[in-house]
Structure 1
Amino acid sequence: MKLRYRTISNTIGFVIFISLLSSCSIVKRVKSNEYLVTENVILEDGKKNNEERVNNIIIQKTNSGMQGMFKFPLKLHIYNLARPNIDSIIEANILSNPNKVRRKTNLLSKKQFDKYIDSKRNFNSWLKRTGEAPVIYNIDKTEKTASNLNKYYARRGWFNNEVDFEVNKDSNKIAKVAYKIVKHKPYLIDSITPFISSPAIDSLYNDFSKGSYLQKGDQFDEDNYERERERINTYLRNSGFYHFGQDYIRMVIDTIGTNNKVNTELIIADRSIRAEDSVIIRPFKIYKIKAINIFTDDNFDNRFKAISDTTTFKDYTLYSKNKLKFRPKALTDAVFMNKGDIYSDLARSRTSRYLNDLQMFRYPSIDYVENEEDSTLTANIYLEPRKKYTLNFDPEINQSNIQTIGFSFNTGLKIRNIFRGAETLELTAIAAIGASKDRSDDASAFFDINEYGGNIRLTLPRLFTPFNTDKIIPKYMSPNTVINLSATSQQNIGLDKQTLAGILGYNWFPSNTVSNTLDLFNVEFVKNLNTDNYFGVYTNSFDRLNDIARDIDYIDQNESLENPANNFDPADVFIDDVINGNTSLTPQDEDYVSVSNINERKDRLTENNLIFSSSYTYKINKRENIFDNDFSVFKWRIEFAGNLLTNFSKLIGSSKNDNDNYEIFGVAFSQYLKTEIDYVKYFDFGRHNIFAFRSYAGIAIPYGNSNSIPFAKSFFAGGPNDNRAWTAYNLGPGSSNNTDEFNEANFKIHLSAEQRFGLFGNLRGALFVDVGNIWNILDNVEDEDATFNGFKSLKDIAIGSGFGLRYDFDFFVLRFDVGFKTYDPAQEIDNRWFRDYNFRNAVYNIGINYPF
């Protein structure tokens, strides 16, 4: 209790200190005849407008951190710490006093003394560079902002708007600026009259006018006029008008005497052809593709070589200066233009995108040669093949919670165009050795941990299926097939295991924002090699068994359920005796339930797994680039496992084992349904202020041949990318207060909200709240505290909150987060809020990039 009060008092003291700092020194460097701008407000017809695009019009913004939810201008405070007359201060306090200079030079040295003086100047300069000078009110910038606001509202249809501003200055050298806008009645679009010079374009007007951004009755918006020009240009460029450009489109508006109506003239001029000393005006014509040529090995080394190999395939001609290395169809499938087609920008961009997606060529380019006499185009596609073989080698040195030091070697060979169909084959191998932290035998080798494995991945630039899928998934979606085979073996890592896996999957991309992945067959076999060492790995479970055995006098207080040389046979015997009723424990005893749960978990984590599944993933990512901070990402995944093997087993009349399960090669295969939904949304409020939100839900339901979910397919909570107030695998399930090393379950809910803000330079700050937990549902776990029993179980959702620092290195972000247990469902129901809300019980997370 004392610790809680001390923590609260320290927090209050810190808040008071920050408040005093922000109020006392904010105008420290503001001169007597100047005023610091602390607030800008836009009042639109008397109501405050918080829209970012409107507030960004303000030229003279306040210091960073001055406005918003948390008003603390850190950069301004840092700047205020700098001394404006540092040289005079150094001269007056040090250099002007010969005795002081003599003492310091005797104590240091002349060179060290000079460095000492320079360090004071450099530190003062650093404060100025890192900080932010106070924003002093400037009437010219205010008037310019008012003028820009007037133009902005006029562009949105309020042509008669009025903009004024009011500046409130007080005796504390503070200025607050309010911009007052009266919009008046908006102007509406009334008529659109086309004036199109070229007959070929005029004949298409009824078609391309249907999707117009300009509709009668809509409020005038200058942006819609620009969008309409872009839309018309795109339509005509995809309709054969090769020479057309957006500059040929003009919009002339008339608002004189129209009673707040806008009459619009759409003018599309003829083509202008510049000659040496004149301009020729001609109507636009539709161009068709006359021929398509593909130059397959166009590179610098071949620039002086003559064409030696010419191949005609369908309507395409392929030229090679060396022997053609690709099957013609592999290249022509990447081309979205055909002989006789009208010219289309869309076909050109799709061809360029597909050729890039093949990853076979460097910067593929497409040029068109005009044939003026018959209004046709010859398309020339130039390809520079990449190297056929690429070898990489990546050594690493690492350390973890199970090894003192480790070395890994990852090497890979990429072979392009292996079957002459633009396929890519990747061969990778990994080998790792390490020294464990808990070696029991000093005579054993120092590097007693090892892992090795290999992977084969073949990517085909098409869907590898026995039937034609072009109508369902056309080639402009860049479909590809992935066949992946991998094998790994681990020793002295957990229970030791060998893993074999294989995937046959398909990917296709309907647009730049949407992706689809179908893993038709995903087979994974996991064999545990050292199951006898279960209690050597899961020591918390073993300690619990020891405590129970001693409590019921099964063993003496100084004995253990372990034989010499880490033999845990006595622990297994004890479990059997409890389950079979050979001890004083009965099924109604809490200790009996604990032993039963430990036994169930041991059986599940030591059993071999055979997973034969199919899955589908749909993803929409609306982020345009890495600098876009106003976007959303939606992802949905569904997976079915075991259905095919179950039906096959029934068909051939396979027998079941003692647990009423079918087996394949002596292993009971898993059968379950698993689905996940993940949604992330970013809101960009400008000036590095970003609000990010994530919601996630997942459930895996065993049925048929399984009554539980394999460990590898279960959910966990906690960690640097989850609920940051708990370490990974340490939260849940439900309200159970488990001490297992790896807590997992088959149902999960997670929500996160994070406010990110700039501090100074590339340093960012964040405040976050993480909410969620895991539960067991519809499986063989019977512990009520760990199972989800409807909406009443939502009271066991854990809440973590905290703060973080992030440093942006441009190519990655280094993240440090501190999470506090705000609501802990593992505690008693009346003692869950802020039970361990202090730095001693906080969780410190270090991560790369943002958590979501």
Structure 2
Amino acid sequence: MKQLIKSTIILMACLVLASCSTTRRLKPGQYLYTGADVIINPDSSKRIADQKEVKTSLENKTRPRPNKSLLGIKWKLLLYNLAPDTVKPKGIGNWLKNKVGEKPVLMSEVKIKYNNDVLKSYLISQGYLQADVTGDTVIKGKKGKAIYTATTGDRYKINSVTFPKDTGTLTNNINKNKDKTLLKVGNFYDLDTYKNERIRIDNDLKESGYFYFSPDYLILQVDSTIGKNLVDITLKVKNTSPDAALKPYTIKNINIYPNYNLRRDSLLRNLHPQPYHDFNIYDDRNTFKPKLFDRLVFFKKGENYNRKDHNQSLNRMVNVGAFRDVRVEFLPIDSFKNNQLNLNIFLTPLKKNSLSFSVTGTNKSSNFIGSEVKITQTTRNLFRGAEQLDISASGGFETQYSGLAKGQNSLSLTLEGKLTFPQFIVPFYKPSATNAFIPKTVASLSYQLLNRGSQYSLNAFKAEFGYNWKENIRKEHTFNPISVNYVQASFPDTATKDSLFNANPILRSSLENQFIIGSNYNFTFTNQMEDYRRNNIYFNGGIETGGNLWGLFVQKDNLGRRGLFNTSLTQFVRLEADLRDYYKVNRNVTWASRLNLGYGYAYGNSTTLPFVRQFFAGGSNDIRAFRARTLGPGTYKVPDNQTFSDQGGDIKMMLNTELRFKIVSVLYGALFVDAGNIWLRKEDTGIPGTTNTGRPGSGFKLSRALSELAVGTGAGLRIDAQIFVIRLDGAFPIRKPYLPSGQRWVLNEVDFGSKTWRRENFILNIGIGYPF
């Protein structure tokens, strides 16, 4: 108790000293500005709706902003004061003072009248039309603050909304969609809603051909004199609107220049065009097949201009991956005197061939870290239809930096070819182009050699044919109806193979030849690109099948098993779902959570999922308090003397939650809790009469699944430079599922002062990118 009191006194003394040091360098007559306080309706007992939120909004609109603080300590100002008054252009003093530190914000910078006007204007925009704000300053010692008193009055509501009379085509189009208006009788007066209503009407008109219309040509007249804190709103088209804005335009000619560059501008414009459907194509080099533009350009001759076709055409031409520059222009015919536009499309192709070279760092969930060198040859527009062929070769070296097999090295060589068509290639079916995103057909073939020193080598062949498409910016689909994987293991000699298998029976299943032929489908939903949202969601779900439909075409052997190349065909169904939530507590703090579920069902030739399709637990992107792939299955624990520790399962359940916060500049911190485990669908009972005694407790039972979850917690540091993220996480277990029931929570055993405890429990994870 005495120690606690002593620590508290020391902490309070530090806080007092820190408080004093923020003002010690102020000159006579200078006062440190500590922020603004807004008092709403102090002379009235009536609270306004959402008063706390309104108060916060008003305080955030005052200027200047006070010095940043953490736990009440203005740490940036403290660092600024640590530096001498004069610092060299380079050095730690300059870095502390000008890069990390923050000079004091003074009371002399506060403009009371300016802030009064800003706060009053904001309240009026929210419907408090009789609002008034007065401000003053309070000085105490070497510090001061601003106090603003806001008298709001009652908030006004909408009494009626009047649209312009139907006197022509323009007003008819405005009235046609007035049922979609954002201005609802009974709603509060809100200036932002009025602005958005003008934008809504402009968008509707753009879809009807009004190319030159603008929201600025609309005016909303507000009458607040009718009493009872109500307003009447009248929407009108300004009399000063230009004639060109008041009529719809149609598309006359669509001129496409597929091989455009500025130096050939006059030559290309004077070419005799090649007519194709609704297009005039100016290309003396026949760079692209004309039918490509049926999928890229949504406009048709004689149709009204509309913004949807405009945006979808631009997005498709940009995303097809064949052009480095895309430019469109709409030119009125006869200087606005009629209602027709010529559409000119200027496309500058990318180079047909390019060579790229990259060196990357790798960090895998299995705790392997290393680097890879990759060279890629890209050939664009291979068949004159914007196709793309990528041929790559890569080589890498990895070493396992932690785990039971620490120090194990791995060499890899990968060859891959991928051909992408910017369209669906489906027999007997021609899908129509319906949105701004280019559908793709992808065919790929790859080979990988993985060498684990003197132990074994893996040869992996993979071939896929499938489709990738987007419904919209949030939803993406990938479907591969044909996916073939063949993995073959080889050993230096029979003695090495037998020695490995005898020492670790689990290796037998992981290194046996694998033949997987099937299909897979994956769906992704995300709204993470919408930064205005306080809460963002990411979901990825997939299903994979092996040996089902394709297995019908494969003959059975003498034992009734289907196989190819003397290898049994793997038969299974695998489901996985990954749901993530990112909640912005404030600008610098995010609460991220993830739920990851997986289930695999093997049948026919197979009793469990093939090793390369199993689920794993533990590692830097998973349950970080346990070493990679060593957790589970179920309550089973890998023996300490087993060098090959990878443990796979048919079922996975995982939950992660992490509080991420900014510390300074690109340095971020995190506090996290991870929970989860994997299981086999059926208990591994081993093989009678052999050294393979199975894995007791590895089977899944729903009734005891929650009691078999592992739980870990920890903290981390991240360098987030946007283009890359380097992560260091330290974690330790607080629940071990392999301990006897009733003894699995081990929070009381945590002892950072014990070297033995740290060696057995504390795990450091180095990662590239966020864990989720």
Q: TM-score band, normalised by the shorter chain?
A: 0.7 to 0.9
Q: Could you tell me which residue of structure 1 aligns to residue 188 of structure 2? A: 219
> Which of residues 14, 23, 28 in structure 1 aligns to 2:21?
28
Which one-letter code corresponds to 1:745 in the other structure?
G
Which one-letter code corresponds to 2:391 in the other structure?
L
Separation in 2 of the partners of 1:758 and 1:436? 31
> Which of residues 669, 673, 680 in structure 2 aligns to 1:770?
673
Q: Could you tell me which residue of structure 2 aligns to residue 484 of structure 1? A: 444
Which one-letter code corresponds to 1:319 in the other structure?
Y
> % of aligned pairs identical?
25
1:530 aligns with 2:491: yes
Asked if structure 1 preserves the Cα contact closer than 8 Å seen for 2:515 and 2:570, the reply is: yes
Alignment deviations for residues 4-38 of structure 1 (CA, whole Å, 9 cap, x no partner): xxxxx999999987665334312323259776666
What is the correspondence of 1:10-89 to structure 2 with a 5 Å cutoff? Answer: 20-30=13-23, 45=47, 48-49=52-53, 56-66=60-70, 70-83=71-84
> Which of residues 767, 778, 781 in structure 1 aligns to 2:684?
781
C-alpha displacement at 1:331, in angstroms?
Answer: 2.2
C-alpha displacement at 1:736, in angstroms?
Answer: 2.9
Asked if structure 2 preserves the Cα contact closer than 8 Å seen for 1:513 and 1:622, the reply is: yes
Asked if structure 2 preserves the Cα contact closer than 8 Å seen for 1:197 and 1:270, the reply is: no
Q: Could you tell me which residue of structure 1 aligns to residue 459 of structure 2? A: 498
Separation in 2 of the partners of 1:10 and 1:425? 70
C-alpha displacement at 1:728, in angstroms?
Answer: 2.2
Q: Could you tell me which residue of structure 2 aligns to residue 541 of structure 1? A: none
C-alpha displacement at 1:253, in angstroms?
Answer: 0.9
Alignment deviations for residues 434-460 of structure 1 (CA, whole Å, 9 cap, x no partner): 9999xxxxxxxxxx9754332111111
**Secondary structure, counterpart of 2:187 in structure 1:** coil
> Which of residues 323, 336, 345 in structure 2 aligns to 1:361?
323
Alignment deviations for residues 99-157 of structure 1 (CA, whole Å, 9 cap, x no partner): xxxxxxxxxxxxxxxxxxx79x9544443222234555569456655553443333222
Describe the shift of the 1:362–1:629 C-alpha distance in structure 2 as closer, same or farther (beyond 3 A): farther
Q: Could you tell me which residue of structure 2 aligns to residue 267 of structure 1? A: 236
Describe the shift of the 1:283–1:763 C-alpha distance in structure 2 as closer, same or farther (beyond 3 A): closer
C-alpha displacement at 1:503, in angstroms?
Answer: 1.3
Asked if structure 1 preserves the Cα contact closer than 8 Å seen for 2:632 and 2:679, the reply is: no
C-alpha displacement at 1:360, in angstroms?
Answer: 1.0
Q: Could you tell me which residue of structure 2 aligns to residue 713 of structure 1? A: 613
Asked if structure 1 preserves the Cα contact closer than 8 Å seen for 2:332 and 2:342, the reply is: yes
Describe the shift of the 1:613–1:405 C-alpha distance in structure 2 as closer, same or farther (beyond 3 A): closer
C-alpha displacement at 1:807, in angstroms?
Answer: 2.8
What is the correspondence of 1:141-160 to structure 2 with a 5 Å cutoff? Answer: 141=111, 145=115, 147-160=117-130
**Secondary structure, counterpart of 1:230 in structure 2:** helix
C-alpha displacement at 1:225, in angstroms?
Answer: 1.0
Describe the shift of the 1:181–1:738 C-alpha distance in structure 2 as closer, same or farther (beyond 3 A): farther
Describe the shift of the 1:298–1:56 C-alpha distance in structure 2 as closer, same or farther (beyond 3 A): same
TM-score, structure 2 normalization: 0.83
Describe the shift of the 1:303–1:766 C-alpha distance in structure 2 as closer, same or farther (beyond 3 A): same
Asked if structure 1 preserves the Cα contact closer than 8 Å seen for 2:524 and 2:539, the reply is: yes
Describe the shift of the 1:567–1:298 C-alpha distance in structure 2 as closer, same or farther (beyond 3 A): closer
Q: Could you tell me which residue of structure 1 aligns to residue 652 of structure 2? A: 748
Which one-letter code corresponds to 2:290 in the other structure?
P
Separation in 2 of the partners of 1:499 and 1:51? 63
RMSD: 4.0
Identify the range of structure 1 (157-166 vs 408-417) with the bigger mean alpha-carbon deviation.
157-166
Describe the shift of the 1:482–1:163 C-alpha distance in structure 2 as closer, same or farther (beyond 3 A): same
Separation in 2 of the partners of 1:703 and 1:295? 57
Separation in 2 of the partners of 1:818 and 1:450? 28
Alignment deviations for residues 556-575 of structure 1 (CA, whole Å, 9 cap, x no partner): xxxxxxxxxx7464686x79
Q: Could you tell me which residue of structure 2 aligns to residue 421 of structure 1? A: 385
Which one-letter code corresponds to 1:813 in the other structure?
V
Number of aligned residue pairs: 729
Asked if structure 2 preserves the Cα contact closer than 8 Å seen for 1:157 and 1:219, the reply is: yes
C-alpha displacement at 1:737, in angstroms?
Answer: 2.6
Separation in 2 of the partners of 1:196 and 1:837? 79
Which one-letter code corresponds to 1:79 in the other structure?
Y
C-alpha displacement at 1:382, in angstroms?
Answer: 0.9
Which one-letter code corresponds to 2:228 in the other structure?
N
Separation in 1 of the partners of 2:666 and 2:170? 54
What is the correspondence of 1:220-619 to structure 2 with a 5 Å cutoff? Answer: 220-269=189-238, 272-273=241-242, 281=243, 284-303=246-265, 305=267, 307=270, 310-320=273-283, 322-372=284-334, 374-394=338-358, 409-431=373-395, 451-470=412-431, 474=434, 476-492=436-452, 495-530=456-491, 567=496, 569=498, 599=505, 601-619=506-524
Describe the shift of the 1:753–1:244 C-alpha distance in structure 2 as closer, same or farther (beyond 3 A): same
Separation in 2 of the partners of 1:507 and 1:404? 31
**Secondary structure, counterpart of 1:731 in structure 2:** coil
Asked if structure 1 preserves the Cα contact closer than 8 Å seen for 2:160 and 2:233, the reply is: yes
Separation in 2 of the partners of 1:811 and 1:407? 18
> Which of residues 719, 723, 737 in structure 2 aligns to 1:807?
719
Identify the range of structure 1 (160-169 vs 340-349) with the bigger mean alpha-carbon deviation.
160-169
Alignment deviations for residues 455-510 of structure 1 (CA, whole Å, 9 cap, x no partner): 11111111110133535x62544211111111122333563111111111211122
Separation in 2 of the partners of 1:133 and 1:282? 54
Separation in 2 of the partners of 1:265 and 1:12? 68
Q: Could you tell me which residue of structure 2 aligns to residue 642 of structure 1? A: 547
Separation in 1 of the partners of 2:700 and 2:130? 61
Describe the shift of the 1:666–1:333 C-alpha distance in structure 2 as closer, same or farther (beyond 3 A): same
Separation in 2 of the partners of 1:728 and 1:13? 43
Identify the range of structure 1 (203-212 vs 731-740) with the bigger mean alpha-carbon deviation.
731-740
Consecutive unaligned residues of structure 2, counting only runs of 5 or more, are 41-46, 402-408, 686-694
C-alpha displacement at 1:643, in angstroms?
Answer: 1.6
Consecutive unaligned residues of structure 1, counting only runs of 5 or more, are 1-8, 88-117, 274-280, 438-447, 534-565, 576-597
Separation in 2 of the partners of 1:724 and 1:51? 42
Describe the shift of the 1:331–1:64 C-alpha distance in structure 2 as closer, same or farther (beyond 3 A): same
C-alpha displacement at 1:40, in angstroms?
Answer: 5.8
What is the correspondence of 1:813-852 to structure 2 with a 5 Å cutoff? Answer: 813-828=725-740, 829-830=742-743, 831-836=745-750, 838=752, 840=758, 841-852=761-772
What is the correspondence of 1:119-198 to structure 2 with a 5 Å cutoff? Answer: 123-129=92-98, 130-136=100-106, 140-141=110-111, 145=115, 147-161=117-131, 184-195=153-164
User: Which has more radius of gyration?
Assistant: 1
Alignment deviations for residues 214-254 of structure 1 (CA, whole Å, 9 cap, x no partner): 11122222111111111111111121112211211111111
1:667 aligns with 2:567: yes
Which one-letter code corresponds to 2:15 in the other structure?
S
Which one-letter code corresponds to 1:357 in the other structure?
N
**Secondary structure, counterpart of 1:302 in structure 2:** helix
Asked if structure 2 preserves the Cα contact closer than 8 Å seen for 1:286 and 1:375, the reply is: yes
Describe the shift of the 1:823–1:301 C-alpha distance in structure 2 as closer, same or farther (beyond 3 A): same
C-alpha displacement at 1:317, in angstroms?
Answer: 1.3
Separation in 2 of the partners of 1:55 and 1:748? 48
Separation in 2 of the partners of 1:637 and 1:404? 26
1:678 aligns with 2:581: no
**Secondary structure, counterpart of 1:483 in structure 2:** strand
Which one-letter code corresponds to 2:549 in the other structure?
L
Separation in 1 of the partners of 2:15 and 2:486? 61
**Secondary structure, counterpart of 1:785 in structure 2:** coil
Separation in 2 of the partners of 1:15 and 1:716? 46
Asked if structure 1 preserves the Cα contact closer than 8 Å seen for 2:537 and 2:581, the reply is: yes
**Secondary structure, counterpart of 1:206 in structure 2:** helix
Which one-letter code corresponds to 2:712 in the other structure?
G
Separation in 2 of the partners of 1:266 and 1:787? 69
Asked if structure 1 preserves the Cα contact closer than 8 Å seen for 2:166 and 2:175, the reply is: no
**Secondary structure, counterpart of 1:643 in structure 2:** coil
Asked if structure 2 preserves the Cα contact closer than 8 Å seen for 1:702 and 1:778, the reply is: no
**Secondary structure, counterpart of 1:677 in structure 2:** strand
TM-score, structure 1 normalization: 0.76
Asked if structure 1 preserves the Cα contact closer than 8 Å seen for 2:595 and 2:655, the reply is: yes
Q: Could you tell me which residue of structure 2 aligns to residue 207 of structure 1? A: 176
C-alpha displacement at 1:419, in angstroms?
Answer: 1.1
